[in-house]
Structure 1
Amino acid sequence: MAEYLSLHPDNPQPRMLAKAAQVLREGGLIAFPTDSCYSLACHLGDKEALDRLRAIRGVDDRHHMTLMCRDLSQIAHFARVDNAQYRLLKTVTPGSYVFILEGTKELPRRVMHPKRKTIGLRVPDHLGALALLEEFGEPLLTATLQLPGDEAPLTEGWEIQDRLDDQLELILDGGHCGTEPTTVIDLTSGAPELVRAGRGALAPFGL
């Protein structure tokens, strides 16, 4: 049974953030709110937790996972980013975007696309998510909390508890945060390529 905590949207309680970070360090899976919709998260280095996350989502290793970072310096540590890409990222982060980039050797191979060696990266524009990343001290391996067969992500804490209570260790209920997922932009070929239109505006990319 998942532990259920109500996270204040404007003043995230430090004890709840600390509890969530502890659960993640111990190999747990959590659900938490972001600036687009709720996400699932686990520790980057935990293979078993990643396997569980993929099973819940019903995806295989060809599905791009998202490494959620607290700032651009973390992104640059885990992905190859040239000067032009960095300037572009700086103009739109934090925000509701995922960027597909080539991973560095700092990333375990199992979290990257098996053929392209790429991964999604993002910096959320959400107080609770950023506070959790700050408390955890590392990026989080994440995926949108949309279950197989559903047309939209889960968006209420009680609904997440009802559907996934026996599959998660902790649910951070931060209130309704919408059902529109992030905009996904592929930056691996030089010019930005739209993978998925979502909450993030397309204008900054000329798309």
Structure 2
Amino acid sequence: MAQLLKIYEENPSEKMLDKVVDVLKKGGLIIYPTDTVYGLGCDITNTKAMEKVAKIKGVKLQKANFSFICYDLSNLSDYVRQIDTPTYKILKKNLPGPYTFVLPSNNNLPKAFKGKKTIGIRVPDNTIIRELVNRLGNPIVSTSIHDEDDLIEYTTDPELIYEKWGSIVDIVIDGGYGDNTASTVVDLCDGDVVVLREGKGSIDNL
């Protein structure tokens, strides 16, 4: 059974954060809070862990559209092709925030993502997950947890999440109640702003 770890966003315990990072480095799966719904993720450089996440979501890893959670925009150049100034301005204005931006990828993607032309980037406005990424030293793959019968409590209450997912993952972080609205997904690949899914992030800011 997974560990249920209470971590406070205001002042996250370093000891707890290090414990989670240790599990990620060993290929573990975690459920963590963001500024939208709770997410399921692992270290993007660990292919075995990525395969586990894909299996849980019922997709083949090669076909999975997982996002990368980054600490800030400085991670972008590792995985994203050169972007123009207007695109960068949109990112800078809205991140950290409840958006997933789809951007053109470069050739440095981890093995599991090789061949993908685009990637989704998230920089959530949540100290816990950003601090985990910062300590891990590379992004965490992100996919939201949702329930087949769409019972909203399952995706917002960490204790109910733990009851449902505790036997599948290694750690469930209790960072307080989550939101039940997903991020707004925006495609910026061709220099145009194309909203693929309207969620928590306002489209008026784009």
Alignment map for 1:105-120 (pairs within 5 Å): 105-111=107-113, 117-120=117-120
**Is 1:183–2:184 an aligned residue pair?**
yes
**Which amino acid in 2 is paired with 1:94?**
P
What's the TM-score once normalised by structure 2's chain length?
A: 0.91
Residue number in structure 2 paired with 1:39:
39
Q: Number of aligned residue pairs: give it.
A: 203
**Is 1:78–2:60 an aligned residue pair?**
no
Query: Which stretch shifts more, 178-187 or 42-51?
Result: 42-51
Residue number in structure 1 paired with 2:20:
20
CA contact (8 A) 1:58 1:148 kept: no
Task: Give 1:77 deviation, angstroms.
Answer: 1.9
Task: Give 1:108 deviation, angstroms.
Answer: 2.4
Cα deviations across residues 86-108 of structure 1 (Å, max 9, x unaligned)?
A: 12111111100001111111112
Q: Secondary structure at the match of 1:175?
A: coil
**Which amino acid in 1 is paired with 2:31?**
A
C-alpha separation between the residues in 1 aligned to 2:133 and 2:178?
18
Cα deviations across residues 106-149 of structure 1 (Å, max 9, x unaligned)?
A: 1125336x5x5211001111121222222222211111112445
Q: Secondary structure at the match of 1:119?
A: strand
Alignment map for 1:166-181 (pairs within 5 Å): 166-181=167-182
C-alpha separation between the residues in 2 aligned to 1:22 and 1:203?
40
Determine which of 60, 81, 100 is the counterpart of 1:98.
100
Cα deviations across residues 145-197 of structure 1 (Å, max 9, x unaligned)?
A: 12445365711111121111111011111010211110000111221101110
C-alpha separation between the residues in 1 aligned to 2:142 and 2:199?
17
Residue number in structure 1 paired with 2:194:
193
**Which amino acid in 2 is paired with 1:15?**
K
Residue number in structure 1 paired with 2:5:
5
CA contact (8 A) 1:57 1:146 kept: no
C-alpha separation between the residues in 2 aligned to 1:46 and 1:135?
16
Uncovered stretches (5+) of structure 1, i.e. residues with no partner? none
CA contact (8 A) 2:45 2:111 kept: no
C-alpha separation between the residues in 1 aligned to 2:201 and 2:58?
25
**Which amino acid in 1 is paired with 2:69?**
M
Task: Give 1:83 deviation, angstroms.
Answer: 2.2
Task: Give 1:62 deviation, angstroms.
Answer: 3.0
CA contact (8 A) 1:184 1:197 kept: yes
CA contact (8 A) 1:33 1:173 kept: yes
Kindly indicate which of the two structures has a greater share of residues assigned to helix: 2
Identical-residue share of aligned pairs (%)? 32
C-alpha separation between the residues in 1 aligned to 2:151 and 2:185?
18
Task: Give 1:54 deviation, angstroms.
Answer: 1.5
Q: Secondary structure at the match of 1:43?
A: coil
Residue number in structure 1 paired with 2:164:
163
**Which amino acid in 2 is paired with 1:43?**
D
Q: Secondary structure at the match of 2:10?
A: coil
Q: Secondary structure at the match of 1:22?
A: helix
Uncovered stretches (5+) of structure 2, i.e. residues with no partner? none
C-alpha separation between the residues in 2 aligned to 1:166 and 1:108?
27
CA contact (8 A) 1:27 1:46 kept: yes
Cα deviations across residues 52-75 of structure 1 (Å, max 9, x unaligned)?
A: 111222234434211000111102
